[in-house]
Amino acid sequence: MDNLGGIIQKAVYLGVGLASYAGEKANEKLAELRTETQKLADEMVKRGEMTTEEGRKFVEDMMNKAMQKPTVESSPETGPREPRRIEILSEDDSSSESNQEVDKMRQEVHKLQDELRRLQKD
């Protein structure tokens, strides 16, 4: 049981680390986007295609769009964030070795599902 606590602790640390890393990468990409957008706006102002005020507004609009969260649309069949079901179909029964491997995998999946159910009850 102590081992399970260690695994959970490591999983939490991994999640926190991944979130931190993703945040740093997102900030870096936003900074790059701001720089590139500013360069584009400066070039357009220099060419006379937009005013300085329009350039500033353009950069602000682009940054606001970049920081908006994407909307996740859910389909009526699955609903939001529901895992997709995968079914393994066997097309050719001539390969007995392949079928044995598939059967072993199915048995392993069933064992893991049973173990998951047991853990969820505890």
pLDDT-wise least confident of 34-38, 52-56, 57-61, 82-86:
82-86
Would the pLDDT of 77 be above 60? no
Q: Can you give the pLDDT at residue 68?
A: 80
C-alpha to C-alpha distances, 118 to 1, 11, 12, 106, nearest whole angstrom: 14, 20, 22, 18
* Whole-number pLDDT of residue 117: 86
pLDDT score of 94: 54
Structure token digits, residue 106: 């199915």
> Are the C-beta atoms of residues 49 and 74 closer than 8 Å to each other?
no
Domain boundaries, the chain: 1-70, 88-122
pTM for this entry: 0.45
Question: From the CB of residue 45, how many other CB atoms can be counted at a distance below 10 Å?
Answer: 17
Higher pLDDT, 33 or 72: 33
Token output for 107: 């048995």
Question: What pLDDT, on the 0 to 100 scale, is given for residue 2?
Answer: 61
pLDDT at res. 78: 47
Average pLDDT over residues 34-45: 89
pLDDT at 71 over 80: no
